[in-house]
Each structure stands twice: as structure tokens, then as C-alpha cells.
Structure 1
Amino acid sequence: MPNGLIVKALSGYYYVLAEGSHDSEYIQCRARGVFKKRNISPLVGDRVAYELTENGEGTVTEILPRSSELVRPPIANVEQVVLVFSVGEPALNIPLLDKFLVHTESAGLDTIICLTKRDLWSPSASDKTDEDSSEELEAVVRLYESIGYPVFVTSSKEGVGVEEVRKRLSGRISVFAGQSGVGKSTLLNAMIPGLQLETNEISMKLGRGKHTTRHVELLRLPNGGIVADTPGFSQLDFLQVDAEGLGACFREFAPFAAQCRFRGCLHLHEPDCKVQEAMEQGRIAASRYSDYVLFLEEIRGQKRRY
């Protein structure tokens, strides 16, 4: 029975690329009914066994073991996440970036941050100069690099940073994730000649983009990498993360959390909390700690509802 890779899922069909195949001729498959009975769904990125049917299509008969699984976006066997956030139109959303980072840390995936639309960066206050604006952007880059995340500032329009990002994707299965309208499809178009993914202008009324990507699909890069473009979305839930585990998703907390007086310290009001102490001393960014507290309240609120 042949094996393959699910590269696209759409309207109940799974498009499987046969193992060892380097062309774009996919086998259109349905999944066996037993998966539904077991409450299992094949995902884009799944390595599967399949059998051909008489009509030239196929049936997915087995899902091979997964190395990773994301709920949003729904994809399996990803090795690396590229969090794509624009610096303008829509404006850079730091709390949402931190929320995405919680999810990638929880999933145990390597993460890089890609800040797009560098050509649209402008001062966030009317009394700021372009020099002030550049320093503000550089401060964001320095913060996340100091935590341990590679950060790339790009402009698809000007061709800035695109090649650097493409090199980081070489030989790996990566997923692009972020809000709609931040330029994921535009960046992919710049990296893959002839791709021509649909893009849309930002809604000035809503301050965000329209959903031009409507399904998850794996795309081959010229340098041998595979990348998934995913539908944009602006909200994430924390159903996969509990209050006690949230702190571990803020990697800069780790050296201080190990010194807290209480095991399981939530870093709120506990005495001798070294995370709070580090934040007060400026060793942990106040913005990151503030988002941690915000997310902790959101998790507790969800648990009370269920």
C-alpha cells in the first residue's frame, strides 16, 4: 500500500502527494469512515497510507504517527512556525504576537518572527520623528531577539529580507501564521516564482485584511523547503494551555521561575516571586509580563465557563 503526504484538504477531499513524487499531480482521496467513528480527522501535513480506487481517486486508510499537531491552524508534522505580523496596515499587534508565541511554545515548535511591510512603518504618535519610529521598531526586534526568537524585518514591495527568510525555511516543513492582511500571501509570492496567491487590500474601515487564504495548503519552495499558507485569523483560545503551564510558555521567565519560593508559583502576588522581581528590575519586559497576566485571566475565565 503506497504512502504519501496530504498537501491540501478541501470540501471533504484530501489531496495526497505520493511518496518520492516531485511533481504537482496529487491523488484526490476520501478518508475511511473508521476515522470519523474514532473522532480522528486527517490533517494537512499528515503522512498517510492510501489505496487507489477504480475511478482514479484514492482512499486514505491509515494516518502515520505525527511528530507534532497544531489545532489552529489545523496542520500536522510542522517543524517550524513563521509568525507573520505587519508593522503597518494593520498596525503591529504585540499582545496578539505574544499570544501566538504561547501557542507555539506550548506545541514545542521552533519559531521565527517575520515583521512585514517595513515600507509602511511610521511613528505611532504625531510628535514622533522617523528616527524615533525606527528606534521603536528596533526596540521590538531587540526584545524578541533577546528572548531567543530570530526576527526578520521584511518588505515584499522593496524586496527587503525576503531571501533571508527563505534561507531559514530551507529543508524544513514550516507554517505561516498570523492575522489576515499582514502579507503572508504576498511574502510567499515573493519567495516562490510564479505562485500568484490571491492578495487583498486592507479594509481601512476595519483596520484588517480580508481572508484571502481559505484553506491550509502545503507549498514547495525552490530551495527544498515546504511551507503551509494558512487562513488568517485574529483570535486564539487557550484551551490547550492551563494556568500552571502558561509561565513555561514565556521562555524568559524560566531562569527566574526556578528560584520562586513556591512550586507552581503563578507569578502574581506570591511572596518571593522572582519573576515579579525580575520584571520590577527591568530584566523581564513589562509588556511581556502584562500580557502574561492578561492571558492568565483569560485562561481562568475559560475554565470557569466549562
Structure 2
Amino acid sequence: MKEGRIIKGIGGFYYVDDSINIYECKARGILRKNNETPMVGDKVHFSILNQEEKLGMVEEILQRKNELIRPPVVNVDQAVVVFAITQPEPNLSLLNRFLVLAEGQMLDIIICFNKIDLQQQKDYMWMVDIYEKAGYKVLLATKENSDGIEKLKRALCGKVSVFAGPSGVGKSTLLNQVQSNIHLQTGGLSTKNERGKHTTRHVELIPLNQRGWVVDTPGFSSLKIDFTEEAELQYCFPELRSLAGNCRFSSCLHENEPSCSVKKAVEDNLIAKERYESYLQLLEEIRSNRRY
């Protein structure tokens, strides 16, 4: 058997790259019987049924190091979360939700604010400050900014990166700038509601010339966080996580408890108020989900 990586899955067919060829494979029935479903990003053992036509059979799915639900992809090294500074207007609550999901999967995270040519720097740097203060790497980009594209290229080198964000923020356009032969379809905004038109119809691993892979995915507009517990949520916020153990009570959830190091950090402007309020909002959402 040979080893390869699933780079695309459509209609029950899985396209496996072994670094030399790409094989069109079906999954062995025993996998379905064992409730094992191949996913994009899976490293697999596969057999060759027809070398000339590049046909094969997925025999075994190797152990996964992580698994994302939306986008449905596995074995990812880092998440590049793209939000536009305008058109559409940034939804920081949605951004924080995706960051929580990526933190929960132990991914390295890069935030890319796109379309910076559409506003003056003073009008968007407050967002950059919030996330740099939280400890995230932030890139600024536009399709006309070669410096931003070069920084993005270097960040993607040698990594399997999920490229995600709401529709219409320019994910596909940026990827086309990173590597011109990708030729991803791009779409503008719906004039009716300023939401992005969906241009990516399936999840696919795209090989990069400078090594590494990126995942272009359909945009999303909502993200549930019911995968985590109340006490665990704080560890998905790096600025809160860094203060773990500094509160009077070891079980502190940083709400109404006295001598709370997180609330003190918010008061001292060491933690952005917007991020803290988002944490409280998500904490309440987790509780509400548990009631039903």
C-alpha cells in the first residue's frame, strides 16, 4: 500500500496525493462499517487499482492530530482568519468565535485584516491593537499591497493552513495573489444585504509552490461553540489564559468573583474590553445551550 493525503472529496470520491500523482479513490467498505469517514487533510494508506488511470482504494485512515467541523478539514497546522475592515463591516463577535474554535484545536492562528486600502489607517488600527494585545499575529493586506502578500506567503510556507472567514472578505482573491496559478473564482458582495456571494463550493487542499497547503472554504456566517465547557472557555482566550491561577479562587470564571486578576486587567486596559465582553457573551451562550 501507498501513503498519501486526501486533497479533495466530492460525491464519494477522494483524491489522494502521494507527492507524485493524484489518485481518484473510493473508500473501502470496512471504513463505513466502522463509522470512519475520510476527510480532506486525512493521511491515508491506499491501494492502486489502476495505475494508468490513477484509480485507487482508501484502505486505512491514519491518526488525526485535529479535526475542524466547519470547515470540515483535518490535520491542520494553522488557521488564517480573514476579515475585511469594511465591505462587509467586520463582525468581531464572529471573529472571536472562530478564534475560540481554533484555540480549542490547538492551532497556530494568524488574523489577516483585508481591504485596508478602503479606509484610512486611523480608522482600523483599533482592531489591530485589540488582537495584537491579545497575543495574536496580525497581518494587513489588500490585493494591491505586495508587502502584505509577501508576509502572507512567508506565513504559509511549509504549513497546512485553513483559510477561513465570512463570505465577501476576499479570501479567494488573496489566495490568487499568493499564487497566480490557483485561479480561484471570486465574487463580490450582494447589493441587497452586503453579504458575500459564495464562490467556493467544496473544501480542497491547494498545494503551494513554496511548500505547504492552504484550504479554501465556503464562507460562514455563524459558528456554534457548544464543543467546550464553561470552565474551559477562558483557556481559548490567550490573554485570559496567561492569567490562569492568579485569581483568589481557582475556579474563578472572571465574572462576579472578588480579587479576579482578569477583571483587574480589564480595568487597567491590559485586556481589551471588547474581548472580555465577548468572553462573557460566549460564557452565557454555553450556559444557555446546557439548559436545553
Q: For residue 41 of structure 2, what is the aligned residue in structure 1?
A: 45
Question: How many Å apart are 1:206 and its aligned residue?
Answer: 1.5
Q: Superposition pairs for residues 228-243 of structure 1, below 5 Å?
A: 228-243=215-230
Q: For residue 71 of structure 1, what is the aligned residue in structure 2?
A: 69
Residues 1:56 and 1:251: Cα distance change in structure 2 (over 3 Å): closer
Root mean square deviation, CA, Å: 1.6
* TM-score, structure 2 as length reference: 0.94
Aligned with residue 163 of structure 2, among 176, 182, 185: 176
Question: Do residues 141 (structure 1) and 128 (structure 2) align?
Answer: yes
SS of 2:124's equivalent in the other structure is: helix
| Unaligned segments of structure 2, at least 5 residues | none
Aligned with residue 269 of structure 1, among 256, 280, 287: 256
Structure 1 CA distance for aligned equivalents of residues 72 and 277 of structure 2 = 29
Question: How many Å apart are 1:98 and its aligned residue?
Answer: 1.1
Return the letter of the residue paired with 1:109.
L
Question: How many Å apart are 1:158 and its aligned residue?
Answer: 4.4
Structure 1 CA distance for aligned equivalents of residues 226 and 46 of structure 2 = 32
Q: For residue 109 of structure 1, what is the aligned residue in structure 2?
A: 107
Q: For residue 86 of structure 1, what is the aligned residue in structure 2?
A: 84
* TM-score, structure 1 as length reference: 0.90
Question: Do residues 59 (structure 1) and 70 (structure 2) align?
Answer: no
Structure 2 CA distance for aligned equivalents of residues 116 and 239 of structure 1 = 29
> 2:40–2:204: 8 Å Cα contact kept in structure 1?
yes
Question: How many Å apart are 1:240 and its aligned residue?
Answer: 1.5
Aligned with residue 279 of structure 1, among 255, 263, 266: 266
| Unaligned segments of structure 1, at least 5 residues | 122-129
> 1:256–1:278: 8 Å Cα contact kept in structure 2?
no
Q: For residue 32 of structure 1, what is the aligned residue in structure 2?
A: 28
> 1:257–1:273: 8 Å Cα contact kept in structure 2?
no
> 2:22–2:54: 8 Å Cα contact kept in structure 1?
no
Return the letter of the residue paired with 1:143.
I
Percent same amino acid among aligned pairs?
45
**1:98-127 deviations in whole A, cap 9, x for unaligned?**
111111111101000111111223xxxxxx
- Structure 1 runs of 4+ with >6 Å offset: none
Question: How many Å apart are 1:74 and its aligned residue?
Answer: 1.1
Corresponding residue pairs, total: 290
Range with greater deviation from structure 2 (161-170 or 270-279):
270-279
Structure 1 CA distance for aligned equivalents of residues 107 and 80 of structure 2 = 10
Structure 2 CA distance for aligned equivalents of residues 33 and 263 of structure 1 = 49
> 1:50–1:62: 8 Å Cα contact kept in structure 2?
yes
Structure 1 CA distance for aligned equivalents of residues 36 and 287 of structure 2 = 28
Structure 2 CA distance for aligned equivalents of residues 11 and 229 of structure 1 = 18
Return the letter of the residue paired with 2:226.
L
Structure 2 CA distance for aligned equivalents of residues 218 and 240 of structure 1 = 25
> 1:180–1:209: 8 Å Cα contact kept in structure 2?
yes
Q: For residue 281 of structure 2, what is the aligned residue in structure 1?
A: 294
Question: How many Å apart are 1:190 and its aligned residue?
Answer: 0.7
SS of 2:205's equivalent in the other structure is: strand
SS of 2:89's equivalent in the other structure is: coil
> 2:133–2:272: 8 Å Cα contact kept in structure 1?
no
**1:144-179 deviations in whole A, cap 9, x for unaligned?**
122221111101144451111011111111110111
Residues 1:214 and 1:276: Cα distance change in structure 2 (over 3 Å): same
SS of 1:28's equivalent in the other structure is: strand
Q: Superposition pairs for residues 84-233 of structure 1, below 5 Å?
A: 84-121=82-119, 130=120, 134-233=121-220
Question: Do residues 7 (structure 1) and 7 (structure 2) align?
Answer: yes
> 1:4–1:17: 8 Å Cα contact kept in structure 2?
yes
Structure 1 CA distance for aligned equivalents of residues 129 and 265 of structure 2 = 18
Q: For residue 17 of structure 1, what is the aligned residue in structure 2?
A: 17
